[in-house]
Amino acid sequence: MAMSTSREIQCPACGKEALLLREPRYEGFTRVGETLSCASCGHVFASEDEVPFKHRPKVEVFAESDRSKKVKVFAEGENKRICRYCAHYVVNPFMQWCGLHKKEVQATDTCPQFTPKPPEKKAAL
Ligand SMILES: [Zn+2]
């Protein structure tokens, strides 16, 4: 990891996990490229495309769990703000009614004046 000019390869010539050596190649005094070779056995790769770099899986564990957590909290909050769970929500045989706005509503409507329904209080007839 400390060697920034080398990378880990799975060498097809010696079969080892080795480091890739990069050495500048010159023609006269002009640099024309790099010689890529296996640090273990010295096998030379013709080009970078031929180098069998070891695959490194990307680590995205944290990002993934953060995202699903956020979505879950959001969905829960939305669910509790619908008319069905509001103290002003009244159901009778003909319609669903909002006692606050005096209008017909749907159970899944949302409302800025949402008031949580008190728990375990059954509609008294
Ligand atoms: Zn090798």
pLDDT of residue 1: 44
User: Is residue 41 over pLDDT 60?
Assistant: yes
**Average pLDDT value for residue range 41-47:** 95
Instruction: Give me the percent of the chain exceeding a pLDDT of 70.
Output: 70
How much distance in Å is there from the Cα of 112 to the middle of ligand 1? Answer: 69
* CB burial readout 40-79, b (16+ within 10 A) else e: beeeebeeeeebeeeeeeeeeeeeeeeeeeeeeeeeeeee
Q: Which domain holds residue 101?
A: 83-111
**Does any domain span residue 27?**
yes
**Average pLDDT value for residue range 67-88:** 68
**Does any domain span residue 104?**
yes
Q: How many domains does the chain have?
A: 2
**Does any domain span residue 38?**
yes
**Does any domain span residue 76?**
no
Percent of the chain that is helix, strand, coil (3-state, to 5) = 20, 30, 50
How much distance in Å is there from the Cα of 57 to the middle of ligand 1? Answer: 23
**Does any domain span residue 17?**
yes
**Whole-structure pTM over 0.75, yes or no?**
no
How much distance in Å is there from the Cα of 58 to the middle of ligand 1? Answer: 26
**Does any domain span residue 26?**
yes
**Average pLDDT value for residue range 30-34:** 92
**Does any domain span residue 60?**
no
User: Is residue 100 over pLDDT 50?
Assistant: yes
How much distance in Å is there from the Cα of 83 to the middle of ligand 1? Answer: 70
How does DSSP classify residue 105?
-
**Does any domain span residue 25?**
yes
